[in-house]
């Protein structure tokens, strides 16, 4: 009897379990890959050490002339240091090439390539009177004094783009006309006959070449 009751109870228990729906819990486990820890090393910034070297300064060998006319005038250029009182660069050396400077003399011949020059000494004002007195001339009739040109002539090359300042005898007051060496002396201002023994000029010499020529006014 007791066995029947146990069997009946067990049967009811099975029936109760078969009637209920058991909920299924689905657990989805997602495995994420580890975060990327790759470090992109920037090598361009560290490696870039290029130094731009300036070569233009080193390559430039052009130098500005040391002796320039500026604005030509009827008066001679002032005495320069070492001229011993003579105007311009003073009396030229007795021998050797004519150095860079401002030199007075007679222009005997001229072309776009070279000039033939007979250098001399030009004194003005008190220096003229003193130089004349030293040469035995007591009464100087003019404010300037010219010592005889040296016996030797100098042949000097002409710089590219050299110019000549020619006295314009038609201007009132007297002024200057500027010519290239191709134009001058064929188209001079007419005050002097250049080249020749009467062509008194100042030569501006830079780097061993004539860069400018100025006719000198001699009243």
What pLDDT score does 34 carry?
Answer: 44
Asked if residues 110 and 181 have their Cβ atoms less than 8 Å apart, the reply is: yes
Three-state DSSP state, 81: coil
Domain that includes residue 163, residue range: 101-215
Q: Averaged in consecutive runs of 10 residues, what is the pLDDT profile of the chain (219 residues)? A: 40 38 38 44 42 41 84 96 96 88 96 95 97 94 88 90 96 96 91 92 98 96
**How many domains in the chain?**
1
- Cα of first residue to Cα of last residue in the chain, in angstroms, is 171
Question: What's the whole-model pTM score?
Answer: 0.71
Three-state DSSP state, 75: coil
Residue 116 lies in a domain: yes
Cα 133 from chain centre: 47
What pLDDT score does 203 carry?
Answer: 98
Three-state DSSP state, 185: coil
Residue 53 lies in a domain: no
Residue 67 CB coordination number (10 Å): 19
Residue 35 lies in a domain: no
Residue 202 lies in a domain: yes
What pLDDT score does 153 carry?
Answer: 86
Residue 163 lies in a domain: yes
What pLDDT score does 96 carry?
Answer: 79
The residue among 191, 196, 179 whose CA lies nearest residue 74 is 191
What pLDDT score does 62 carry?
Answer: 58
What pLDDT score does 154 carry?
Answer: 87
Residue 184 lies in a domain: yes
């090359």: which residue's tokens?
157
The residue among 197, 101, 99, 100 whose CA lies nearest residue 146 is 197
Q: Is the peptide bond before 195 cis (omega within 30 degrees of 0)?
A: yes
Residue 90 lies in a domain: no
Residue 106 lies in a domain: yes
């Amino acid at each position: 009897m007791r066995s029947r009751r146990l069997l009946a109870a067990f049967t009811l228990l099975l029936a109760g379990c078969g009637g209920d729906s058991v909920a299924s819990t689905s657990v989805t486990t997602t495995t994420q890959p580890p975060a990327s820890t790759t470090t992109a090393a920037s090598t361009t910034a560290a490696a870039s050490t290029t130094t731009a070297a300036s070569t233009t300064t080193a390559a430039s060998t052009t130098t500005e002339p040391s002796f320039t006319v500026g604005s030509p005038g009827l008066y001679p250029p002032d005495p320069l240091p070492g001229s011993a009182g003579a105007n311009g660069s003073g009396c030229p050396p007795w021998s050797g090439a004519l150095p860079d400077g401002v030199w007075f003399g007679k222009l005997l011949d001229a072309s776009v390539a070279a000039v033939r020059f007979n250098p001399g000494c030009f004194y003005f004002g008190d220096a003229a009177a003193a130089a004349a007195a030293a040469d035995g001339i007591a009464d100087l009739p003019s404010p300037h004094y010219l010592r005889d040109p040296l016996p030797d002539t100098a042949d000097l090359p002409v710089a590219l783009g050299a110019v000549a300042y020619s006295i314009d005898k038609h201007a009132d007051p007297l002024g200057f006309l500027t010519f290239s060496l191709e134009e001058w002396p064929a188209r001079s201002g007419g005050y002097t006959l250049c080249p020749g023994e009467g062509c008194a000029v100042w030569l501006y010499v830079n780097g061993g070449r004539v860069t400018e020529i100025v006719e000198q006014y001699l009243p």
